[in-house]
Chains A and B, each alone.
Chain A
Amino acid sequence: MLDESGAPRSATVMPNPLREGLAEERVPEPAVMVIFGASGDLAHRKLLPALYSLTRDRLLPARFAIVGFARRAISDDTFREEMRAACNEHARRRPIDPALWSAFARNIFYHQGEYEDPAAFVALKQRLADIEKSLGLHGNRVFYLATPPSSFASVIRSLGQAELAPKPPPPGAPKPLGAPPPFARVIIEKPFGSDLETARALNRDVHEALDERQIYRIDHYLGKETVQNLLVFRFANGIFEPIWNNRFVDHVQITGAESIGVEARGGYFEQAGSLRDMVQNHLLQVLSLFAMEPPVAFDPDAVRDEKLKVLKALRYIPASDFEQYVVRAQYAAGSSGGQAVRGYREEANVSPTSTTETFVALKLNIDSWRWAGVPFYVRSGKRLPKRVTEIAVHFKEAPHLLFGRRGDSIRPNVLAIRIQPDEGIALNFGSKLPGPAMEIAPVSMEFRYGSSFGVEPPEAYERLLLDCLLGDMTLFTRADEVEASWAWVSRIHRRWAEDAAQQESGRAVLPTYPAGSWGPAAAEKLMTADGRAWRLP
């Protein structure tokens, strides 16, 4: 029973006895989600389709509202129509169900305002109060910052000034009598800063208005099933953890390849480059999950503490041998998907003299007992032959080759963890060929999510939005993790800047690779110099 303000009459809310036994479905508390940047690509392609899919899977609470906030002056109905079209195009299950959409759309609203205008946030506060009252919500709010990064600080400041996201009581503070206070959480999209200094500055701004426990820095890679399966694979199976170290592992290759070019994002990519766009966030997060020590518990801070240790243990690349550890390049004209494609410098919104890297290959070392002497080779690029993200663990050879060396038929075992597409795990090993001779051939034992479970995994954003509503921060990046990864990456950027300054032109000299190839020759040399080769993923 609710009073006129929409709050429960009773001071305390009794637990729901019917929830027991329905625990496998984690349903968050009723809430409203405000999306800043609601006119943008992310809201259309990912956020609203993800919220629709969650509703379809009955994973959102019965009382849930969405408020889009952007600069354009449009009505609730226009916004709903735009979102309907977006969900029809991008939702996991299409076409959308008209009956379900009708119920879902009723609680979608739009609020026009400028991100830098404090008055717009005061008006938003009143709008939220009205919506919450009409729908019987009691003040739980999630604010999603899907705006350009330049607006992050001003939006957060305005949220603070309008008292839209009050800080929770400090940890250990006595619990208030009655119902717990409503939550206010803020999801911040990447990029979180563009180097160590800007990341630190943004963290300072954020912490002035919010408590770290309210901040959900999203890296959608962590929402992918296979990335989460890394934890299960390592810590729920007794046989892998004993060989997950430098006694058995020769080296590890992490590939994040894209077949597309910069498409319409030339302006953004010019400022970012592959190292910022892929490595600093996605691939270092994957690496830290792969390489971390077992956490003491499966709770957010225990997991993030271990990831942080890995990031802090990344050895800084030595200045003297920089080229043996870092390769960057830019794609030139070539072929992709059977069609001729132009080079990076010919792309829209890209400078014809651009020195932004579209490919980067790195050799990393983790200074820890577990990984001492095991190099991690990481590469990422655009306009590579195919879209694939995988981790390949190359194990050491058998200590004694009983059958001798027969060409390349005896190869070290490789465990390939495919993050996308065709999510799964494959183990390569040698097997005797049938017949009288002792012929050995490499074979592969594969597990594929699609084949084994026959279900379509949820989109990464579905999982992450749900986790935020549930208050589970495990798959979100903490402030110190962000700063640790920037601390490592920013040194490379500084070195590149120094190298450029030494050139007569003041610009870096970048090798190129033809679109549709696996990168420049220098990337191959990075491996061959160590007597190794990139795996073809």
Chain B
Amino acid sequence: MRLQGEIERFVRGEPIAVEVGEIERALGSLWQEASRVGDTVAVSRAALWNVIIPARGRAALATTKQLVDEIAPALPTRTLTLCLDDADAQGSGALEATIESNVVSQPGGARMVYSEEITIAGPSAAEGHFGALVRALQVAGVPTATFWLDPTAPESLLTRELLAVTNRLVLDTTACVRPQQLFDMERLSMAAQPLPIADLGWLRLGALRAMFAGIFDPPVGGAPLVQAARVTIHHRAGSDAGALLLLAWIGVMLGWRPLRAAQTSDGGVRFDFARAGQPVAGHLVPADGACGRSGMFGIEVTTDAGDRYAIRRTAIDQAELRTPGVPPKPVKLDSPSDAELAIAALGSRGRDPLFARCLSYARQLWSLETDTAASRR
């Protein structure tokens, strides 16, 4: 029998320290006791996904736990956060575990839905235990998603262990501060084949892509894209990876063949493509301003005839669509939260095969750039 205070802390969502080998038993006992002491509402223990999130260091752990708390109201999951942390030199070196509930009142107040969060932390040397623990703690009958949000450590023992029990891999290319890290992301994606791969960075570009694509719906149609002479992506400095993915998307969809790359005087990069024997230029142009986490300001297509079709951010959640012959149209540009993107990644939008094609193409584009830079040296 658990202490009353412990049960109340658990129901309030506070972490309860437990023995690593006793996690499942402790959870079972706490849920059972919680439903016994619940005076007015039924307790539902729910999980639609097992979510595994590795985090390196306490700072990453804090960010991860905040994300998990934000996901909980919209999606019941069993979340396993695996923290590798060598900073605590005085520690015993053993794994530590806490369990907590995430409590959500449903509209109307008649029901409370609870999902659960398990955190296991230990030094890097304990990494070898994580695979077996994950296998033991997965809720049966529901799929498992692994959120690999750290682009600096794409390959490890943990990666290999986790991919074997994962049904969906979730990345975040927005965290790539250097485009070279896209190479690592692509390697991880290849290793995960044939799993569906979702990317929070790709989803973050979704609103801009959809708005830009909408310009070429009827009555305009796709002709200006086929006649494009130049495409310009305006982005915040340091968001080159996202800009590269956007350019890759257009290149993939329009069947452009990458030829060469060169740095430009404005600090950007110019890519040359062949389009049915005709040249097309793609520019990544860094700029300053407010543009949300996606880091993108806008996309502009200029046709052979000089017509311009563009989406341009005018405020953090506003943009303007520009089409020849009609006045600019202001549109709302959503900036979904990380939690909203994570939930989308676990839905149908997280099974977008186009992402893998664009990631591969982006890597190919950046290879041209790095080759060019190397030849200059």
Contacts and interface: CB of A to CB of B under 8 A. Distances in A.
A1 B224 contact: yes
B220 A8 contact: yes
B24 to A, nearest CB: 20
B348 interface: yes
Nearest to A3: B325
Q: Which of B106, B108, B332 has most A Cβ within 10 Å? A: B332
Q: Which of A2, A21, A448 has most B Cβ within 10 Å? A: A21
Contacts of A25: 210
A18 B250 contact: yes
A264 interface: no
Contact of A99 (B211, B249, B332): B332
Contacts of B74: 454-455
Given A1-B307, A2-B219, A448-B111, A22 B210 contact: yes
A140 B318 CA distance: 27
Nearest to B329: A62
A103 B332 contact: yes
A17 B325 contact: no
Contact of B332 (A19, A97, A179): A97
Nearest to B106: A450
Nearest to B358: A21
Nearest to B225: A17
Contacts of B334: 58
B106 A103 contact: no
A133 B331 CA distance: 20
A62 B211 contact: yes
Nearest to A13: B221
Contacts of B324: 1-2
Contacts of A20: 253, 354
Contact of A19 (B213, B315, B318, B325): B213
Interface residues of A, number: 49
Interface string B199-224: 00000000101111111111111111
A164 interface: no
Interface in A6-46: 6-8, 10, 12-22, 24-25, 27, 29-30
Contacts of A16: 213, 216-218, 221-222, 225
Q: Which of A6, A14, A25, A102 has most B Cβ within 10 Å? A: A14
A177 to B, nearest CB: 15
A422 B113 CA distance: 14
Interface in A99-115: 99-100, 102-103, 106
Nearest to A455: B74
A14 B353 CA distance: 24
B108 A422 contact: yes
B144 to A, nearest CB: 17
A81 B218 CA distance: 31
Size class of the contact patch on chain B: 35 or more
B219 A138 contact: yes
B46 interface: yes
Nearest to A137: B219
B369 interface: no
A61 B318 CA distance: 16
Nearest to B104: A454
A136 interface: yes
A63 B104 CA distance: 39
Contacts of B217: 16, 19, 27, 29-30, 61-62
A454 B75 contact: yes
Q: Which of B76, B216, B318 has most A Cβ within 10 Å? A: B216
B48 interface: yes
B44 interface: yes
B311 to A, nearest CB: 10
A68 to B, nearest CB: 21
B326 A2 contact: yes
A8 B329 contact: no
A242 to B, nearest CB: 22
A505 interface: no
Contacts of A422: 108, 110
A364 interface: no
Contact of B317 (A14, A99, A454): A99
Contact of A17 (B214, B222, B318): B222
A478 B330 CA distance: 39
Nearest to B207: A58
Interface in A446-463: 448, 450-455
A525 interface: no
A2 B218 contact: no
Interface string B86-104: 0000000000000000001
A99 B318 contact: yes
A62 B331 contact: yes
Contacts of B225: 16-18
Contacts of A102: 330
A102 B331 CA distance: 9
B48 A13 contact: no
A135 interface: yes
B254 interface: yes
A56 interface: yes
A464 B225 CA distance: 32
B190 interface: no
B224 to A, nearest CB: 7
Interface string A132-145: 00011110000000
9 shortest A-B CB distances, which residue pairs?
Answer: A454-B74, A18-B213, A13-B221, A21-B354, A136-B326, A14-B222, A14-B221, A138-B219, A16-B216
16 contacts: A1-B224, A1-B324, A1-B325, A7-B219, A10-B223, A15-B222, A16-B218, A18-B216, A18-B249, A19-B216, A29-B218, A62-B214, A99-B315, A136-B323, A421-B108, A450-B106
Interface of A: 1-3, 6-8, 10, 12-22, 24-25, 27, 29-30, 55-56, 58, 61-63, 97, 99-100, 102-103, 106, 135-138, 179, 421-422, 448, 450-455
Given A21-B353, A56-B332, A62-B215, 6 more contacts: A21-B352, A22-B210, A25-B210, A61-B214, A136-B219, A136-B325
